[in-house]
Chain A
Amino acid sequence: MFELAPLVLAFPIAGVLLNLLFGRYLNERWISIIGVAAVGGAFGVAVLQALALAGSGYHAHLALLANWIEVGQLQAPWQLRVDTLSVTMMLLVTGVGMLIHIYASGYMHGDARFARFFIYLNLFITAMLVLVGGDNYLMLFVGWEGVGLCSFLLIGFWYDAGEPSASARVGGEPQAGAGNARAGRKAFVVNRIGDFGLLLAMFMIFWRVGSLQFDAVADYFSVQGAAAGGLATVITLLLLVGVCGKSAQIPLFVWLPDAMAGPTPVSALIHAATMVTAGIYLVARSAVMFELAPVSQMVVALVGATTAFMAGTIALAQYDIKRVLAYSTISQLGFMVAAVGLGGYVAGMFHLLTHAFFKALLFLSAGSVIHGVEHGAHATHAHVDVQDMRVMGGLRSKMPVTFWVYLIGALALAGVFPLAGFWSKDEILADAWHVGMVEGHWHGVLVYVLLALAALSTALYMTRQIILVFFGAPRSEAAAHAHESAPLMTAPLVVLALLSVLGGLLNLPGWHALGTWLEHTHEFFQTGAFNALVAGISTLVALAGIGLGYRVYFLAPRTTADAADALQPALGPMFGFLRGKWFVDELYDAVIVRPFERGARSLAFALDWNFWHDGFHNSVLAAGFRMLAAFLSGPVDKTVIDRLFDALAGAVRVVGSRNLQRLQTGYVRNYALGVVLGVVAVMGYFVSRSI
């Protein structure tokens, strides 16, 4: 069944082409059927690949599609790699992707660019499958940039809407309705910074290893062992730059909150479940190198933990329903990155999977909420920001299905026993505990503390969100008239809710299905031991967060849309700091963006144009030439030569200019006479010489 592997790409590509060529002639129904079928087909193929792996001793299988670049010793074919790690990712991408496609066919109903949306989504699935299915770093990079492109296109899908927020006003004069487009551009550019690191890492791998194939790289480093430690450190740190870009870690996380400008299914699919986890996949894929570079591992773990903590605190003070989830995603990605940094690859992958379930669920439910409020706003002609949680409230009764699945997602995210999030998050914390307490590394302790605090804030902000959105009384007309979404949208929610509940089964302590499955890709992909103490603390932390949220937000419910946040008195100026997102955007704006723009402007206009183009060219080259000409015609010509000729002219004047002028009679015969005169003179000269 491995022969079918290329089909995993063929299905979504076919979807793209069909909708691209015929989309304009089809109605929404057929467009969405094509889109969903394309992903569904790929999902089927992925399942078959998993079965094939299970049936053939879990050995990695390579499927050559075509040669791509062969230059000198550089050999980079289009080749798929089917092993447990890639198949896991494929299943996730296509499975969750399919659910989100179904949801999107309801969510995007009536949009003028319906076909284009599905083209983009299928294109994204293709790129993501290239990313996780490729057999070399170059193909991974193709997918890596490809998903970046799709992210750019989908964030800016409503490219004629969205006002740039004050802090995010980047790029010269404001342009009407280009806020979403700007967010997309920001995502692409920030990701490119990450790609820069990945690119350099690839170059280094190639020139040391001589190949970009995963197998060859793994072989090289296992053979070299500790001798290649320095090299591995440099490469892995460069890879980390890429991870920070794609998985939205400090310092490159700033694009992800803005990316919420895209339609909600996009946020769920790309900016929660799949694309942003590519960084974790990359680290897991390059695990051999990370294992040789303890310094890099430590940096990775600390970056992840810090991000988890920082984003968790920011999420506490946001009012935009999707923005809270965005920061939550960054925070959870921090968990995963910390996990793989600590060597807990299975834990990282485990959390990646469960997070995909419940975060996709949360985003889609948030979309459902937005959809509902939007309908309410339409019905009442109210002008409200439909994503602002302050105008919501009391939606529990209006949207029951959405409420329940949202609650499940939130509890899973908060890590409440026995939902999926509990098991995966606990595994990460246990790994951190192990590294810190058992192995005695200081950074393990630090990571554990940061992650625990992040877990606390996770429980707190999710409680806050649930209460603000669903409990209390509606705080606007729009919220009062909201209604439940169509079954096309709620059905995938239910499936995802189920997965969020049962996701923990994937790698339950004692069973370790995921661990044993992934073990076949790298032997050190092992599940850490279950630690009852850590599990207990985690549960306490989660409950504390929920309890705190209950006390702050439920017992003192917000009554009006513009009241101050209940947490504000407790935190004081700190709240403003969190509300301002630690002012990272402003910092980058002041330190990087504005200086760059100012610098580019002065480089372009002052240095290049005024100085070099006008100044140097016109003033030095051209004017220099003119000066030389002027010098020759001026001092030299005017004084020396002119005087000479003035004298001559004086002489001529004596002879009589009238006479000379009369030489120019205009009669041809006169001139002929002149010719003969000349001939006689020349001949006379020669004759006289011969005498």
Chain B
Amino acid sequence: MTAAPLIIFAVLAAVAVASGLAMMLSQNAVYSALFLVINFTVVAVLFLILGAPFIAMLQITVYAGAIMVLFIFVIMLLGGERLPAPQQRLRWQQPLAVVLVLALLALAGYVFAQGAAPAAVLAEPQDYGSPAALGLLLFTKYLFPFEFTSLLLLVAMIGVVVLTAVEERRRRLPRASRRT
């Protein structure tokens, strides 16, 4: 095993973890969002390395692109980039949370230490991870769940419309009927 891939991986992983931590710790929501974009991009590169070019592209376009733009848009809309003066109500929550997450990681580490997973990955088939192969699978074996996701998206869309449009409709109703 040459060292080059490992170095590349180590660098990418370090950037991912660092950007994740920064996202979490940043007090400004806009910074958080930008750190998250970095994180997503790095993970996309990792996907590329893992032989999942299609997923990597999706990661960039959907996650780092669409979703994060949405986030930033909402942050700007609400002016929520900074919260008012920190007023800690749950003082014991933070240390407890850190302890718990560390415990979780410790457990995971323990599982890794047990060495259940194989050391290396297999050689890839010719069209592994190509959009064509993925599409074929999607439209045969996973046809029903795939169709179902469309329904999910539809429901989400309607939900969003309903949630945000409620105020508007009430405002338009005549005064008399609002009382009932």
Contact = CB atoms under 8 A, between A and B. Distances in A.
Interface string A163-190: 0000000000000000000000000000
A673 B107 contact: no
17 contacts: A665-B90, A667-B90, A669-B90, A670-B93, A673-B93, A677-B100, A679-B104, A680-B103, A680-B104, A683-B107, A683-B108, A684-B103, A684-B107, A687-B107, A687-B110, A687-B111, A690-B114
Contact of B100 (A669, A673, A687): A673
A669 B93 contact: yes
Given A676-B97, A687-B111, A690-B114, A667 B104 contact: no
| Contact count band on A | 10 to 19
Secondary structure call for the B interface: helix
A684 B104 CA distance: 9
Interface of A: 665, 667, 669-670, 673, 676-677, 679-680, 683-684, 687, 690
Given A673-B96, A676-B97, A667 B103 contact: no
Interface of B: 89-90, 93, 96-97, 100-101, 103-104, 107-108, 110-111, 114
A676 B100 contact: yes
Most central of B89, B96, B101, B107 by chain A CB within 10 Å: B107
A269 to B, nearest CB: 67
B72 to A, nearest CB: 23
B107 A670 contact: no
Contacts, number: 30
A676 B93 contact: no
A670 B114 contact: no
Contacts of B104: 676, 679-680, 683
* Those 5 A-B pairs whose CB atoms lie nearest each other, nearest first: A683-B107, A676-B100, A680-B103, A680-B104, A687-B107
Contacts of B93: 669-670, 673
A680 B111 contact: no
A677 B99 CA distance: 10
B118 to A, nearest CB: 18
A680 B111 CA distance: 13
Nearest to B100: A676
Given A683-B107, A687-B110, A687-B111, A667 B100 contact: no
Nearest to B114: A690
A674 to B, nearest CB: 10
A91 B90 CA distance: 109
Contacts of A670: 90, 93
A677 to B, nearest CB: 6
B88 to A, nearest CB: 12
Contacts of B107: 680, 683-684, 687
Nearest to B89: A667
Contacts of A669: 90, 93
A667 B100 CA distance: 18
A669 B96 CA distance: 12
Contacts of B108: 683
Contacts of B96: 673
B151 to A, nearest CB: 27
A179 to B, nearest CB: 56
Nearest to A676: B100
A678 to B, nearest CB: 10
Nearest to B96: A673
